[in-house]
Structure 1
Amino acid sequence: MPKTKQELESRGNFSDDEDHPLMDLDNGIVGWESQHDPENPSPFSSSVFAPAVGRTQQELGDTSSILGSLAVTSYLFGYGTGPFLFSPLSEIYGRRFVLSAANVIFVLFQVACALAPNMPALIAFRTMAGIGGSAGLTTGGGVVADLFTTEQRGLAMSVFTFGPLFGPVLGPICGGFIAERAGWRWVFWILAISGGLLTLLVMVFNRETNPIVLIERKTERLREELQNADLKSCYKTANSESKRNYHHNLLAPFRLLLSPVVFLISAYIATIYGCLYLLFTTVTHVFQDVYGWSTELSGLSYIGLGLGFLTGQAAFGLLGDRIIGHLKRRNEDGHFEPEMRLAISILFAPFIPISFFWYGWSVQSHTHWIIPIVGLFPFAIGAVGIFSSLQTYIVDSYTRHAASGIAAITVFRSFAGALLPLAGPPMYAALGYGWGNSLLGFLTLVMIPVPVGFYLFGWRLRRKFSI
């Protein structure tokens, strides 16, 4: 347990392989040229508070290590709840309305966090902010499916994935300086201000992309203009307006999560994501404890991860869609299969265990501080390749339910990201940094056969378990 003031401050199925075509609606093109993927500062918000936990606990009079970890990871419990609501609603009522409403929730509860009177209240408010922030992640996969063809989708998902991966790295770097210079409450005031501005921009400039909603709106206008009640959307079926079908759409994330394809892919992503957040909640403490860094400087320990994410992003962007094109040409009929997406993930997967062995034993041996920072670099490269390729695989496999597929992944990974960091401090206390990180390295090494198996045999499961 920390005893000095300095130590206290340091705590702190419809399954298909078809693409939605670009559509001419009211003489306008709905395509990537005229649209953008709506973003919010949600991923950044998930980790920006990490360096400020120690000061927050000191001010609020609560030094429990469990509550300190929950103050960071409770945001992810919200991430694990919101997608079950927002993703199916975005497939029924459209992406734009759902995203705007969720962003408002996100901003309001950032204000509540800034005014929190105690740690339990702060944890509750962070959870609610996470619920609102989850919509940007889960609807984003649907927007990519709406706007991009198969050949473009890999790069688009890589750009989309960059925010959820790089945001949590940038968060602690900024959070450390904000907490040191202005106080921990200003971490949330800045999130509320930036989030509010982006929410207004989304409300003004964002446009609907869901083809089902767009065609239905145009059909309704034509019914009125032509006085023809028999006109129906091409996406509508005989039972599409029934209560049963509504419940079918609303429960799509649950059904997808229970299918072997999404479950196993989600388990692998959740393992990597949980390890990532374990690093987020422990790296600053490692550099404060082992290397004597201050709260303000400790956020800079994430630079290795940040540079790794940038490198992985560039590598995936250059290689991803090219590999898909090569595999399509090798196919007898030139047909695209979603499993082709997984080829590149097999190349990126070994970077994760290598990073844990490197980082853990360099800290254990008290090497120069640059060595463990460089050791985190391969982890970030591997995470980009795994996240981008596996999430795109789900989008390709369940195109019309892409948002629900991403929701299922987000729920699984968010709970892993919230719970696994709680095991970090006792694990390091029992095993040390060397064997503790080696344990994570062996765990991620054992998971590598997941993308390999799906690359070879995934098509059978995908066609058997459609929704």
Structure 2
Amino acid sequence: MSAIRKWFILFIVALQGFLGPLSSSIYASCIDSIVLRRSLGASSTLINATISLYVFTQGIAPMMWAALSERYGRRLIYLGATSIYVGSTIGCALSQRIGVFVVMRIFQSIGASAAQAVGAGTITDLFLVHERGNAMGLFFLGPLIGPVVGPIAGGYINEYIGWTYIFWTLAGMGGFVLILMLFFLPETSALVLERCKIRRKLQERREKAVNDKRSRQQQLDTKPVVLLASTPYALAYGFMYFVISSLPHQLGYRYQLTSSQIGLSYLANGVGNAVGAVLSGKHADWLLRRKKQQQEEHGQQQQLEPEIRLSAMWMGILLLPIGELIYGWCVQAHVHAAAGLTGLFILGVGVGIVQTPSNTYLVDAYNGYSASVIGASNLLRSTFAGCTPLMAPTMLRSIGNGWSMTIFAVMSIMSGGCIYIVQMFGQRWRTLNAS
């Protein structure tokens, strides 16, 4: 398969992966809208809770999609999930009661979540190990910039044509992705492709192997390596959602910004996320190539340890608390909005840097279970991201933005210990588990 075709397939899958995070918070900047509250017959607190519910569902559903994709292939899962997304998004636009809206949001999250896990399997199918860092960095831009691009678009759509058109726009985007998948997305799973060519006896053996894989997938989220390697990114992603959910109130209350201006403020975090994700992916690949070159110079033929990638995360661990402290205390002290947004940009860079090496390491470390292991990691990430918006109102009322972000900064620094432990003992634990 040509390089152009591989990247085009990744582009289509990344678009599906972008829909989920984009939809999660696209109406965050208009939660306080009187029209939205009256249309659904609900308070702003209850509407805000639907964001957490959506993110919680995004943590659970990919586990199902990952297991199904490893048995029935990637293409079928992408098509089915995207169809669910389009249908439920139309349902959100037509909702006139909060109960219906909540149900539609759950199905929207289920449909949009497929690529969050299955996309890692597609990357494993298409790219060699030394190419995956860059591919993963580009693919996982969706979870990073989607939650911050969404409120920008949602703020303008709500302000000028109404909140229902937010979901009509998303439905149109989902339909476009579905058309691309129908015509241009082939099956990439080597297991499924082989199964179509072999005799029934070999097919039964491979199906048994898949069943064993699915049972092992249920254990992935409890393995120390998976938990430790996922924790720094899960914490960072949760803290980002804390900021995303509270930013409209913080900027609106302290700086009297309109919904469209608040939406534009999310750009600081979004640009930072994109910069961090791309740079760390390239850095992780460079670390792997450098190690391979050093081995060749010394005549060594050892297999490269995936733990090498984790060194690229340390800059993110440094930037996260810096960004959190600058943002938290500048907003608390009512310093010019540009200062707080600078902190938000640094925080975004830190989240992006931590994200890409973490996910790429897990794919390399559990190469045969890439979709499942990313599904397990995604569960941890989405759990944190779903909890923090619920915590935000109480924490901000009790201790303020400055001290809230200080607590998060301390936790971000401590999460570096997880990286150190995996670098020291990750290979040994994986060897013991494989034996």
TM-score scaled by length of structure 1: 0.86
Query: In the aligned structure 2, how far is the partner of 1:33 from the partner of 1:76?
Result: 28
Structure 1: state its 5+ residue gaps.
Answer: 1-21, 23-27, 224-228
Q: Does the CA-based 8 Å contact 2:237-2:384 persist in structure 1?
A: yes
Amino acid at match of 1:216: R
Deviation at 1:406, TM superposition (A): 0.6
Amino acid at match of 2:127: F
Give the corresponding residue for 1:255: 219
Query: In the aligned structure 2, how far is the partner of 1:35 from the partner of 1:126?
Result: 27
Give the corresponding residue for 2:309: 341
Determine if the alignment matches structure 1 residue 287 to structure 2 residue 251.
yes
Deviations along 1:52-93, whole A, 9 cap, x unmatched? 22222243332252x132122221122122112110111111
Determine if the alignment matches structure 1 residue 107 to structure 2 residue 79.
no
Deviation at 1:196, TM superposition (A): 1.2
Go from structure 1 to structure 2 and tell me whether the alpha carbon gap of 1:151 and 1:48 turns closer, same or farther (over 3 Å shift).
same
C-alpha RMSD of matched pairs (Å): 2.1
Give the corresponding residue for 2:10: 36
Query: In the aligned structure 2, how far is the partner of 1:413 from the partner of 1:264?
Result: 12
Give the corresponding residue for 2:345: 377
- Matches for 1:204-223 after TM superposition, within 5 Å: 204-219=183-198
Give the corresponding residue for 1:148: 127
Deviations along 1:374-398, whole A, 9 cap, x unmatched? 1111111111121110100110011
Q: Does the CA-based 8 Å contact 1:92-1:249 persist in structure 2?
A: no
Determine if the alignment matches structure 1 residue 62 to structure 2 residue 42.
yes
Give the corresponding residue for 1:432: 400
- Among 284, 287, 290, the alignment partner of 1:326 is 290
Partner secondary structure for residue 350 of structure 1: helix
TM-score scaled by length of structure 2: 0.92
Amino acid at match of 1:397: A
Deviation at 1:314, TM superposition (A): 4.0
Query: In the aligned structure 2, how far is the partner of 1:292 from the partner of 1:173?
Result: 17
Deviations along 1:31-59, whole A, 9 cap, x unmatched? 73674351322221111121122222243
- Matches for 1:176-187 after TM superposition, within 5 Å: 176-187=155-166
Q: Does the CA-based 8 Å contact 1:51-1:299 persist in structure 2?
A: yes
Go from structure 1 to structure 2 and tell me whether the alpha carbon gap of 1:318 and 1:33 turns closer, same or farther (over 3 Å shift).
closer
Deviation at 1:346, TM superposition (A): 1.6
Deviation at 1:269, TM superposition (A): 2.3
Query: In the aligned structure 2, how far is the partner of 1:43 from the partner of 1:409?
Result: 16
Q: Does the CA-based 8 Å contact 2:85-2:110 persist in structure 1?
A: yes
Give the corresponding residue for 1:412: 380
Query: In the aligned structure 2, how far is the partner of 1:218 from the partner of 1:30?
Result: 27
Deviation at 1:264, TM superposition (A): 2.1
Deviations along 1:82-108, whole A, 9 cap, x unmatched? 112110111111100011101111111
Q: What is the aligned length?
A: 425
Determine if the alignment matches structure 1 residue 45 to structure 2 residue 9.
no
Q: Does the CA-based 8 Å contact 1:92-1:213 persist in structure 2?
A: yes
Deviations along 1:409-444, whole A, 9 cap, x unmatched? 111111221112100111011111111111111111
Greater displacement, 326-335 / 138-147: 326-335
- Among 437, 440, 446, the alignment partner of 2:414 is 446
- Among 85, 103, 114, the alignment partner of 1:135 is 114
Query: In the aligned structure 1, how far is the partner of 2:290 from the partner of 2:316?
Result: 18
Give the corresponding residue for 2:371: 403
Partner secondary structure for residue 447 of structure 1: helix
Query: In the aligned structure 2, how far is the partner of 1:139 from the partner of 1:168?
Result: 20
Query: In the aligned structure 1, how far is the partner of 2:139 from the partner of 2:394?
Result: 35
Give the corresponding residue for 1:7: none
Q: Does the CA-based 8 Å contact 2:319-2:349 persist in structure 1?
A: yes
Greater displacement, 327-336 / 137-146: 327-336
Give the corresponding residue for 1:268: 232
Greater displacement, 29-38 / 250-259: 29-38
Go from structure 1 to structure 2 and tell me whether the alpha carbon gap of 1:296 and 1:35 turns closer, same or farther (over 3 Å shift).
closer
Greater displacement, 114-123 / 407-416: 114-123
Query: In the aligned structure 2, how far is the partner of 1:361 from the partner of 1:335?
Result: 47
Give the corresponding residue for 1:160: 139
Deviations along 1:302-360, whole A, 9 cap, x unmatched? 12112212321342244221121112334553531110110101222211111111100
Go from structure 1 to structure 2 and tell me whether the alpha carbon gap of 1:251 and 1:184 turns closer, same or farther (over 3 Å shift).
farther
- Among 280, 283, 289, the alignment partner of 1:316 is 280
Amino acid at match of 1:327: K
Bigger CA radius of gyration: 1
Q: Does the CA-based 8 Å contact 2:280-2:313 persist in structure 1?
A: no
Partner secondary structure for residue 25 of structure 2: helix
Query: In the aligned structure 1, how far is the partner of 2:175 from the partner of 2:153?
Result: 18
Partner secondary structure for residue 32 of structure 1: helix
Deviation at 1:239, TM superposition (A): 4.3
Q: Does the CA-based 8 Å contact 1:360-1:434 persist in structure 2?
A: yes
Deviation at 1:140, TM superposition (A): 0.5
- Please identify which structure carries the higher helix content: 2
Partner secondary structure for residue 400 of structure 2: helix
Give the corresponding residue for 2:60: 81
Query: In the aligned structure 2, how far is the partner of 1:204 from the partner of 1:304?
Result: 36
- Among 326, 335, 350, the alignment partner of 1:358 is 326
Partner secondary structure for residue 169 of structure 1: helix
Partner secondary structure for residue 54 of structure 1: coil
Greater displacement, 79-88 / 113-122: 113-122
Query: In the aligned structure 2, how far is the partner of 1:86 from the partner of 1:30?
Result: 27
Give the corresponding residue for 1:18: none
Partner secondary structure for residue 257 of structure 2: coil
Identity of aligned residues (%): 31
Q: Does the CA-based 8 Å contact 1:78-1:129 persist in structure 2?
A: no
Determine if the alignment matches structure 1 residue 391 to structure 2 residue 359.
yes
Query: In the aligned structure 1, how far is the partner of 2:261 from the partner of 2:215?
Result: 46
